[in-house]
Amino acid sequence: MPLVEALKRYGQSVPVRFHMPGHKGRQLAHVIKDLELNLYNWDVTEIPGLDDLHQPSGPIKKAQEKLARLYGADESFFLVNGASSGVIAMVGANAKPGDEILISRASHKSVLSALILTGTKPVYVMPEKDENLGVYTQVASEAVAEALRQNPDVRAVFLTSPVYQGFCPDFKLISEIVCSKSKILLVDEAQGPHFGLNLSLPKSAGEFADAWVQSPHKMLTSLTQSAWLHVKGDRISKKHLKSFLKLVTTTSPSYILMASLDMARGIMEAEGKVLTDRALELADIARRYINKYTPFYAVGAEMRGKNGIYDIDLSRLMVNVSGAGYTGYEMERLLRRDFNIYAEYADLYNIYFLVTFSNSKSDVDGLVKALSTLKTKAKLSNSIIWPDKLPKAVMEPRTAFYALGEHLPLEQSIGRIIKDALVPYPPGIPLLMPGEVVEQEHIQVLSRLLKSGGHCHGVTSEGFVQVVAEL
């Protein structure tokens, strides 16, 4: 049982977990361990009394109603196939095949799945960048306004907030722009299920959006793969959204996942403010100590107001290590190998730690102590310049997906149309989407990343990419 053995080894090594899921392998001590104790007992199907996710009228309906009340939605839906299924349903329910949808380029790859499955045409809006940190930041409201001026036919605007770094855009302004053009605002808030529960956190997109999806398994306590979707107002057909959700939902939804969602909601309803205060405090301690006692820079509130960033989730811990001569990849390996500390992820310049209320003070102390033993090194020789402009698109993603493909070495793909998206992971923002043309600057960025230890979905381990075959 290779997977079971690997999980046993991981668990027994007692790692310090700054990665997802948000529960960090710990049940909250004061919550009865019902779920853990009843894992097999509660693994059931739609028997009488236990309702049916596809047509809820009993306890699932009640649980979803409580969820909607907590997040200020008209209706909320449990998802058992991650926020990814919610993203697909939001897009599919609001745009028909051939309709245009305005999408932030800083979107998770589930949006690509949505485009391919639904045949929706993307119109992209580029986020701003922070050159020092080597990351895209957020979409400026002016960019949304300009994109809508240039593309008056788009059906909906789809944004992601927070992005992995915790950056949020100015939703108040953006929603005014979107509403003034009578468009629908859809938000991927997968990384922000704790928003709206504490005034010290950014406002939830739910205050402004027509529909928004959240992944409580990332920052709260529900189990991996569980998520929820909220809808508000009358600009979206709730009936159609429900029909779409059925298309992307298994007919055997896990009661264990749904129970973990109901519990996560219950916990946040009872103690959301106290618990999120705890996460913020832990992250704040880490940030202050890292900035004072280590050669690294923990990013904080100073990011507000720059590069399209209106607000920042300070319970996420983004640490820039390139300033002290390390790549994020190197730091991730070093912390894991020498200190048994697992980060959420790393990119060329930075490393990211996901701090939730399930982390302990000793987790944070261990991290700060480990980082304080490291000394500044010679400046990094490798830098990264992300493209400012969108690539040239000559085919819709869906057309490229269904086209015949051929594999070529990355360096020989200049001028060819990409079939498999090239998504540096992290940051998970597509460099090239299916149907876009490879240029020299894309090869340069990817070669740098791969040489420094980064990964790119769409590039094989032998360095090949799939392009659309020439007929």
193 contacts: CB under 8 Å, gap ≥ 6: 214, 215, 216, 218, 219, 220, 228, 264
Q: Please report, as residue ranges, which positions from 216 to 235 form the binding site for ligand PLP (by CB under 6 A).
A: 227
- Binding segment toward ligand PLP, per CB under 6 A, in 83-91, 277-285, 304-312, 380-388: 83-91
Would you say 146 and 293 are in contact if contact means Cβ atoms under 8 Å apart?
A: no
315 in contact with ligand PLP (CB under 6 A): no
260 in contact with ligand PLP (CB under 6 A): no
Distance (Å, whole) CA 297 – CA 359: 21
DSSP state at residue 204: P
253 in contact with ligand PLP (CB under 6 A): no
Q: Please report, as residue ranges, which positions from 347 to 366 form the binding site for ligand PLP (by CB under 6 A).
A: none
190 in contact with ligand PLP (CB under 6 A): yes
Q: How far is the CB of 439 from ligand PLP (least distance, A)?
A: 26
SS3 45: coil
276 in contact with ligand PLP (CB under 6 A): no
> End-to-end distance of the chain based on CA atoms, in angstroms?
46
Residue with the two structure tokens 């992290």: 426
90 in contact with ligand PLP (CB under 6 A): no
Which residue is closest to ligand PLP by CB? 82
Residues 339, 340, 343, 348, CA torsion sign: positive
316 in contact with ligand PLP (CB under 6 A): no
Q: How many residues bind ligand PLP (CB under 6 A)?
A: 12
469 contacts: CB under 8 Å, gap ≥ 6: 403, 404, 405, 406
Q: How far is the CB of 84 from ligand PLP (least distance, A)?
A: 3
Would you say 123 and 154 are in contact if contact means Cβ atoms under 8 Å apart?
A: yes
DSSP string, 233-289: SSSS-HHHHHHHHHHTS-SS--HHHHHHHHHHHHHHHHHHHHHHHHHHHHHHHHHHH
Give the nearer residue to ligand PLP in terms of CB position, either 204 or 215: 215
| Tokens found for residue 234 | 């009358």
160 in contact with ligand PLP (CB under 6 A): yes
Binding mask of the shown chain, residues 99 to 138, with x at each position contacting ligand PLP by CB under 6 A: ---------x-x----------------------------
188 in contact with ligand PLP (CB under 6 A): yes
Work out which of 191, 221, 254, 260 binds ligand PLP, going by CB under 6 A. Answer: 191
Q: In the chain, how many H helices and how many E strands? A: 14, 21
- Binding segment toward ligand PLP, per CB under 6 A, in 57-65, 188-196, 244-252, 408-416: 188-196
Q: How far is the CB of 227 from ligand PLP (least distance, A)?
A: 5
- Binding segment toward ligand PLP, per CB under 6 A, in 81-89, 90-98, 270-278, 290-298: 81-89
CA distances from 307 to 130, 184, 327, 385, 443 (A): 7, 24, 23, 16, 26
Give the nearer residue to ligand PLP in terms of CB position, either 95 or 168: 168
Binding residues (CB under 6 A) for ligand PLP: these are 82-84, 87, 108, 110, 160, 188, 190-191, 215, 227
